[in-house]
Amino acid sequence: MAFSQGFTPHPKISYASAAPTGVASEAEYLEIGLREPVEPAQLRVALDNALSPGLDVLDAVVATGTGLADRIEASHWRIELPQVDPAVLAQAVTAFTEAEEVQVERMTKQGRRTFDARSAVMSIDVDGASVTPSGASAVPCAILEMVVRQVTPSVRPDDVLSGLRVVAGLEPPVAPKVIRLAQGTLTAQGAIVDPLDADRDGATIGGR
């Protein structure tokens, strides 16, 4: 890995739209700088072996064209809400989608901030499958799936849950489990495309 210059060198690594603390994810992306060319497959294996169990490197490609940050336009989220009736969640989702805007409040580095959590949500639906939350048994669970555009300030899954509380008084009795299923570029049809697709040409990763 390449490092910056100066008295306190840092590894050249940049995360694109990293998931919030406490959130699970199946789709995190990062860029790293290397000192010399290396085969992408070799790099993937080396990184994967160096990480803790459960942190899996799935692919590595040569970075070409624009940076990752310019390719992340939206994320697909799944939220498990144990002990929440799916019918109650569906009513809250309807109220949320019918609202022109939903103002929520969140503490940021610049202090408490109020913003609209509705406009960034492209789609939001209740999964009709009868399931139980991950790692639990015989517990009813409402499942929420949504696609949220990357905006400033960012609208996180907890902001959408705050919005459901604002419009419908939804108060989950236990902490939800949030999983990012995908993130990337949006197509005209609203589908999310893997941001690495444009770089998959089998080339060697070069130093930079």
Both tokens of 84, joined, read 């929440």
Residue 86 in any domain: the answer is yes
Cβ 74 vs Cβ 183: under 8 Å:
yes
Residue 54 in any domain: the answer is no
Q: What is the DSSP string of 118-144?
A: STTEEEEEEEEEEE--TT-SS--EEEE
Burial of 1 from C-beta contacts in 10 A (0-12 / 13-18 / 19+): exposed
Residue 155 in any domain: the answer is yes
Residue 124 in any domain: the answer is yes
Write down the pTM of the prediction. 0.86
Helix, strand or coil, per DSSP, at residue 5: coil
Looking up residue 89, the CATH number of its domain turns out to be 3.30.70
CA 122 distance to own-chain centroid: 14
pLDDT at 178: 96
Residue 100 in any domain: the answer is yes
- Tell me which residue range forms the domain holding 149: 71-186
Cβ 126 vs Cβ 93: under 8 Å:
yes
Helix, strand or coil, per DSSP, at residue 170: coil
Residues of the chain with pLDDT under 50: 202-204, 206-208
Helix, strand or coil, per DSSP, at residue 167: helix
Residue 40 in any domain: the answer is no
Residue 77 in any domain: the answer is yes
Residue 39 in any domain: the answer is no
Instruction: Domain count for the chain, please give it.
Output: 1
pLDDT at 204: 46
Q: Which helix (H) or strand (E) holds 80?
A: strand 74-82
